[in-house]
Amino acid sequence: MSSERARRGLLLVVSSPSGAGKTSLSRRLVADNPSLDLSISVTTRAPRPGEAHGREYDFVDRAVFDSMVDENAFMEWAEVHEHRYGTPGVPVVLAVSAGQDVLFDIDWQGAAAIAAAAPEEVVRVFILPPSMADLARRLHARAQDAEDVIERRLKRAYGEIEHWTEYDYVIVNEDFDAAYAELAHIYRAERLKRVRNPGLAPFVAGLLAERL
């Protein structure tokens, strides 16, 4: 049966400027697909309202983060909006080797690092806002950051969007349900690629060996 055939896990990287929707889209995709795990990043920033340690992020202080850098514990790490974020490498390696897929909700710097480390496994998707005015409205509407932080995020968004050509797929998140449907289609199609399903080779050999 197909569920028993060997397959290689893929690394699905979803990036966007802050407020464009990558986190909401990513969480829904993970919730809808047991085959997909969310990579929990380590960060030095404080939790936002409603966030919990070990669910959205592993929240640590700068000293702990720096010690993890020294121990080469991260697959990638970067400083974003004056805080550090990193992806622990061991859980990712174990998941992929077991045929499990992993989703990364990270910025373009992290996406580039993961693509360099695992070019055959990675699939990169960039989420764009329908307009910069809409992006500003979303940042204000979620009421999670002070005004000066929102202004910094908007200024940074222009530089982040410039990296859209480094991605395999680009989705304009004008309507959430439509954007989610596109992301789900991308994920399911990538899972079916021949190179990610080495278990098909013996299955096909068995088909060819059958003589009716």
Domains of the chain in start order, with CATH, are 2-39+99-198 (3.40.50.300)
List average pLDDT for each run of 10 residues in the chain, which is 212 residues long.
Answer: 73 94 95 94 91 90 96 90 89 89 92 92 96 91 78 91 97 97 98 93 94 86
> According to the model, what pLDDT value does residue 143 have?
66
> According to the model, what pLDDT value does residue 174 have?
95
Which residues is 128 bridged to in the sheet? Answer: 172
The whole-angstrom distance between residue 57's C-alpha and the CA centroid of its chain comes to 13
The whole-angstrom distance between residue 193's C-alpha and the CA centroid of its chain comes to 19
**Nearest residue to 122 via CA among 17, 13, 203:** 13
Using alpha carbons, list the distances in angstroms from residue 209 to 7, 132, 200. 22, 58, 14
How far apart are alpha carbons 114 and 72 in whole angstroms?
14
Q: Which residue bears the tokens 């096909």? A: 204
Q: Which residue bears the tokens 């061991």? A: 90
Using alpha carbons, list the distances in angstroms from residue 13 to 5, 86, 146, 148. 25, 14, 28, 28
Determine if residue 43 is left, alpha or beta; phi over 0 gives left, psi from -120 to 50 gives alpha, anything else beta: beta
> According to the model, what pLDDT value does residue 2 have?
45
